[in-house]
């Protein structure tokens, strides 16, 4: 009996253990030999490639171009922006030797690229005609984390980091918000992960930013996951690195910059938003395989009847752009295959046996509705359309279900007692007029932090649940990953 | 007067200087702040993305899947394969500090991933059923090079590295050759770079391989560029890392592995194969922009007539899948734009002025044939087909031209004197029966090395030009980048 045959621990029993098992057993990722590093296996990487494509085309539609920047940054660069170095210094990986020699100046492996970007843009920008610069990088970065968890927090992780420079503050403001909207659209419409777009409190801001916007999602255990951020860097990095340009009136000005990123952490969001006790459930739009075909036969003559039909159906579906896996492994039973692909979260299972061949039918089973409820027998006639409709339904159902769960576990609380109860199982939505110290106090007492001030504010005012002062903003509190 | 306005040095005058200027002025790449590192700018990165896509779909068609492996490798891994560490130790970048602490064991930034792959596959493989493993990584690697040159040799470079493991030697042999064929097909049919597929001599083999296959191209100065390699690693890494499996008879066996890579160096091959004294010439199939539209007008009323037509044509071409840039920059003259896009190697320039709007025509200028010869006036009727045909012609012409140049500069030589003359300007093709020492001697005296033993051998035998011994293999010698 291998690991694969063991039952998963249930989410209710031990959400953390369930998560780790799903990641490993669904073949998404594995541990690397250096503590805290991650190997993304082919199935996990195919999911990441689909995420990349969905984001990349959205970026490009806003005029962004990709580029490649070095992973090595002189240590001195980090020190140029005071808050930035304070935030990142404790997490740096440092290269001290190269080519057998000790280096004159130590080099850091990028934890993020604002500094090398600042240095470079300063060289590239002379005139307002050189602006805006709209660049995105697909790469990996290194942060020396002590407590790591696959996808959520690893020593090296994959992401995209966008870096823009503008002639005016208004343009930088607009870009910061525009990229948050891109993330929101991606999360909701591709990943079926309902997110709350909002602004971070000062305490949770990116090191060196004037403003950090975020999308926050609720995981299956009620905790929050910060799933993507967009930073308005004001003129902080432009001043630190001298990104200056002559404006239309020939006056020297500092540029305004932004940065924004979304990482493989988002795979964690997908797992913990949609998964159930049988394993992963992948949203059809991002799933590496949208349909798995399991041929069912015992005798050789049945196989001869079933396999050609299964292959024909595979070809028909693939020709329509549906991502299909035909599981023709000979040494495994259909039952084993059902469990295996359930664990791996394929949205639709298509079963075909000898009687289906005769009756010109197939069975379709929905991953999001296990058991009879999600199973139907349909004709092979018009199968492409049937499957496409089903995939659309599953995508919509996953979003509706996650939204419902999130809303059911978000509570408007009036006082600290209600607050404490709310953040044990979900989000607390409150009027807030506290300062940094009050926020810190709450974190120490409840482990909950301000996840964001939602962009969608009700307006008007209320009473701060904690300080009792008049408040003008609603905040979402939660315990976070 | 900016750099952009200066004339390029000619290729004949100073090929090296020409190359560096083209890379910088065509906005392909820039120097990074850490010595030897490279920033790939958006135009260069778009070219790399097209290369990636052309390769990636070929890899996937052979059953290969992508994955992500950590950049950090324990130093001890490098020492497990004796020849491998000998080859790579002098070029390593070493991380000694992480998170503010000195590390117990130093970590290297991957120079290539055979060792971490060997370690991991050993964990993944138990039975013959777990084989083959066919994985490719798109990433960057670090080699501490002292003499660097943009794209050709940089401290960090981008590439793909494929790593496969097989149950039998025959499968590994087949895979090694299959991936070389993929590279050959890509080079010839996508990049219009004629290459000689062949086998490396023992001296030029990858550190740890039993056999290295290579594609070798001739640059515009007659020197060779190794443009992609495929290594048969035999059981060397399997033994060093214990990749063992139970075969169908329940006998424990070592696996057979391969690795194969192609890097951003290939961008150097494209530049130096096709470029001319005006700058880059990009093969249409890989060019970020296949067509640049330059609208021509002086007065505002001309602009009003020309621009809408230019935009309509852009849309028509884009709808047909042609990659088009409309250069509507207002502050630059058409002449400046012509030079700029010539420098940047766009295959086709489409000019449209007020008279063209009236006559329902446009002018098309081929980048591969500067001046009148390459210019034609065509109707806007059927323009998509006209442009598509032209792009196909340019692609074919670039390949034919480069092949002709390569062949004209490849000489069958009978003795060492003829050899010395041949390798001053190109390749020498010879019967070879020398040993490593003879090869080393020739290298010291002429700077030429065996680029490969071509896979296409004439058969029969001859006399070794150097040792006078009977020889059974033809070798290609050349000076290499």
Confidence of residue B4 (pLDDT cuts 50, 70, 90): low
Question: Tens digit of pLDDT for each residue in A331-355?
Answer: 899 999 999 999 999 999 999 999 9
Q: How many residues does chain B have?
A: 481
Task: Judge whether B94 is closer than 8 Å to chain A, CB to CB.
Answer: yes
Q: Which residues contact A250 (CB under 8 A, 6 or more apart)?
A: none
Element (DSSP H or E) covering residue B312: helix B300-319
Query: Both tokens of residue B285?
Result: 């199939």
Q: Nearest residue of B to residue A39 by CA position? A: B69
Confidence of residue A4 (pLDDT cuts 50, 70, 90): low
Question: Tens digit of pLDDT for each residue in A5-46?
Answer: 578 999 999 999 999 999 999 999 999 999 999 999 999 999
Average pLDDT of chain A is 96
Measured CA to CA in angstroms, residue B238 lies from A165, B116, B122, B123, B136 at distances of: 49, 12, 8, 12, 18
| Contact between chains at A77 and B33 (C-beta distance less than 8 A) | yes
In this predicted structure, the answer to whether residue A454 has a pLDDT above a threshold of 90 is yes
What per-residue confidence (pLDDT) applies to A304? 94
| Contact call for residues A260 and A181 (beta carbons, < 8 A) | no
The structural domains of chain B, with segments of one domain joined by +, span 3-274, 291-393, 410-479
Question: A61, A86, A98, A130: best mutation site toward chain B, by most B Cβ within 10 Å?
Answer: A98
Question: Tens digit of pLDDT for each residue in B90-128?
Answer: 999 999 999 999 999 999 999 999 999 999 999 999 999
Q: Nearest residue of A to residue B115 by CA position? A: A33
- B256-263 and B291-295 as β-strands: parallel, antiparallel, unpaired? unpaired
Q: Which residue has the higher pLDDT, A86 or B313?
A: B313
Q: Between A68, A73, A142, which is nearest B158 by CB?
A: A68
Angle, nearest 10°, between helix axes B300-319 and B383-408? 70
Question: Tens digit of pLDDT for each residue in A91-126?
Answer: 999 999 999 999 999 999 999 999 999 999 999 999
In this predicted structure, the answer to whether residue B478 has a pLDDT above a threshold of 80 is yes
Stretch 111-150 of chain B: residues touching chain A, C-beta under 8 Å? 116, 119-120, 123, 129, 135, 139-140, 142, 144-146
Average pLDDT of chain B is 96
Query: Longest C-alpha distance within chain B, in Å?
Result: 84
What per-residue confidence (pLDDT) applies to A86? 87
| Contact call for residues A478 and A196 (beta carbons, < 8 A) | no
Q: Which residues contact B273 (CB under 8 A, 6 or more apart)?
A: B191, B192, B193, B217, B218, B219, B220, B402
What per-residue confidence (pLDDT) applies to B293? 98
- B291-295 and B348-352 as β-strands: parallel, antiparallel, unpaired? parallel
Q: How far apart are CA B255 and CA B262, in angstroms?
A: 24
| Contact between chains at A32 and B71 (C-beta distance less than 8 A) | no
Question: Tens digit of pLDDT for each residue in A193-205?
Answer: 999 999 999 999 9
In this predicted structure, the answer to whether residue B2 has a pLDDT above a threshold of 60 is no
Question: Tens digit of pLDDT for each residue in A209-264?
Answer: 999 999 999 999 999 999 999 999 999 999 999 999 999 999 999 999 999 999 99
DSSP state letters, A26-91 = TTSEEE-SSTT-EEE-HHHHHHHHHHHHHHHHHHHHTT-EE-B--SEEEHHHHTTSHHHHHHHGGG
Q: How far apart are CA A286 and CA B266, in angstroms?
A: 32
Nearest to B131 by CA among B257, B250, B259: B257
Q: Which residues contact A112 (CB under 8 A, 6 or more apart)?
A: A88, A141, A161, A259, A261
Averaged pLDDT for residues B32-41: 97
Quick check: helix, strand or coil at residue A332?
A: coil
Query: Longest C-alpha distance within chain A, in Å?
Result: 84
> Torsion-angle region of residue A192: left (phi > 0), alpha (psi -120 to 50) or beta?
left
DSSP state letters, B376-397 = EEEESTTHHHHHHHHHHHHHHH
In this predicted structure, the answer to whether residue A396 has a pLDDT above a threshold of 50 is yes
Averaged pLDDT for residues A167-178: 98
- Any bridge partners for residue B412, and if so which? B429
| Contact between chains at B32 and A67 (C-beta distance less than 8 A) | no
In this predicted structure, the answer to whether residue B476 has a pLDDT above a threshold of 90 is yes
| Contact between chains at A74 and B33 (C-beta distance less than 8 A) | yes
In this predicted structure, the answer to whether residue B1 has a pLDDT above a threshold of 50 is no
In this predicted structure, the answer to whether residue A1 has a pLDDT above a threshold of 50 is no
Angle, nearest 10°, between helix axes A265-274 and A383-408? 90
DSSP-assigned letter for residue B161: E
Q: How far apart are CA B22 and CA B481, in angstroms?
A: 17
Quick check: helix, strand or coil at residue A444?
A: helix
What per-residue confidence (pLDDT) applies to B371? 87
Q: Which residues contact B41 (CB under 8 A, 6 or more apart)?
A: A67, B27, B28, B29, B30
Averaged pLDDT for residues B259-279: 98
Q: Which residues contact A4 (CB under 8 A, 6 or more apart)?
A: A25, A340, A343
In this predicted structure, the answer to whether residue A399 has a pLDDT above a threshold of 50 is yes
What per-residue confidence (pLDDT) applies to A85? 87
| Contact call for residues B428 and B476 (beta carbons, < 8 A) | yes
Averaged pLDDT for residues A286-298: 97
Task: Judge whether B341 is closer than 8 Å to chain A, CB to CB.
Answer: no
Q: Which chain A residues are within 8 Å of B38, Cβ to Cβ?
A: 68, 70
Measured CA to CA in angstroms, residue A106 lies from A98, A140, B32 at distances of: 10, 20, 15
**A3-274: CATH, from 3.30.930.10, 3.40.50.80, 3.40.50.720, 3.40.1010.10:** 3.30.930.10
- Phi, psi angle pair for A239, to nearest 5°: -70, -40
Instruction: Tell the CATH superfamily of the A291-391 domain.
Output: Anticodon-binding domain (3.40.50.800)
Stretch 361-420 of chain B: residues touching chain A, C-beta under 8 Å? none
Confidence of residue A402 (pLDDT cuts 50, 70, 90): very high
Nearest to A303 by CA among A331, A328, A324: A328
Question: Tens digit of pLDDT for each residue in A69-85?
Answer: 999 999 999 999 888 88
In this predicted structure, the answer to whether residue B270 has a pLDDT above a threshold of 60 is yes
What per-residue confidence (pLDDT) applies to A371? 87
CATH class of the B291-393 domain in this structure? alpha beta
Q: Which residue has the higher pLDDT, B390 or A371?
A: B390
Q: Which chain A residues are within 8 Å of B265, Cβ to Cβ?
A: none
CATH topology for A410-479 is: Translation Initiation Factor IF3 (3.30.110)
């Amino acid at each position: 009996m291998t690991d694969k045959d063991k039952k998963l621990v249930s989410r209710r029993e031990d959400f953390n253990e369930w998560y780790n098992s799903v990641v490993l057993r669904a073949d998404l990722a594995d541990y690397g030999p250096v503590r805290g590093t991650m190997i993304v296996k082919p199935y996990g990487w195919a999911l990441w490639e689909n995420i990349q494509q969905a984001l990349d085309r959205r970026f490009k539609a806003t005029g962004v171009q990709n580029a490649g920047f070095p992973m090595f940054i002189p240590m001195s660069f980090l020190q140029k922006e005071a808050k930035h170095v304070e935030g990142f210094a404790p997490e740096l990986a440092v290269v001290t030797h190269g080519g057998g020699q000790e280096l004159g100046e130590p080099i850091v492996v990028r934890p993020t690229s604002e500094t090398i970007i600042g240095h470079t843009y300063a060289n590239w920008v002379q005139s307002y005609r050189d602006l805006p610069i709209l660049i995105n990088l697909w790469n990996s970065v290194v942060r020396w984390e002590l407590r790591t968890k696959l996808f959520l927090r690893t020593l090296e992780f994959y992401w995209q980091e966008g870096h823009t420079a503008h002639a005016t503050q208004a343009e930088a403001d607009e870009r910061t918000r525009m990229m948050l909207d891109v993330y929101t659209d991606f999360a909701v419409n591709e990943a079926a992960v309902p997110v709350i777009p909002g602004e971070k409190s000062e305490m949770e801001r990116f090191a060196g930013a004037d403003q950090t916007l975020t999308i926050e999602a609720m995981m299956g255990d009620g905790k929050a996951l910060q799933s993507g951020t967009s930073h308005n860097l004001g003129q902080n990095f432009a001043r630190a690195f001298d990104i200056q340009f002559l404006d239309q009136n020939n006056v020297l000005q500092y540029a305004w910059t932004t940065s924004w990123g979304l990482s493989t952490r988002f795979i964690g969001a997908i797992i913990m938003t949609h998964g159930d006790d049988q394993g992963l459930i992948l949203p059809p739009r991002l799933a590496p395989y949208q349909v798995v075909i399991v041929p069912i036969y015992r005798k050789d003559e049945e196989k001869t009847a079933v396999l050609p039909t299964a292959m024909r159906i595979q070809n028909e579906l693939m020709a329509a752009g549906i991502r299909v896996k035909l599981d023709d492994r000979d040494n495994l039973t259909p039952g084993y295959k059902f469990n295996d692909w359930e664990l791996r979260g394929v949205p639709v299972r298509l079963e075909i046996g000898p009687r289906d061949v005769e009756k010109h039918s197939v069975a379709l089973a929905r991953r999001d509705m296990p058991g009879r409820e999600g199973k139907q027998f349909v004709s092979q006639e018009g199968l492409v359309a049937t499957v496409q409709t089903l995939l659309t339904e599953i995508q919509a159902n996953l979003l509706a279900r996650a939204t419902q769960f999130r809303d059911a576990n978000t509570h408007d609380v009036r006082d600290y007692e209600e607050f404490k109860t709310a953040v044990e199982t979900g989000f607390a939505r409150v009027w807030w007029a506290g300062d940094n110290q009050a926020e810190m106090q709450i974190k120490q007492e409840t482990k909950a932090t301000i996840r964001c001030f939602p962009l969608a504010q009700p307006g008007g005012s209320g009473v701060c649940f904690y300080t009792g002062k008049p408040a003008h903003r609603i905040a979402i509190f939660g315990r976070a990953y």
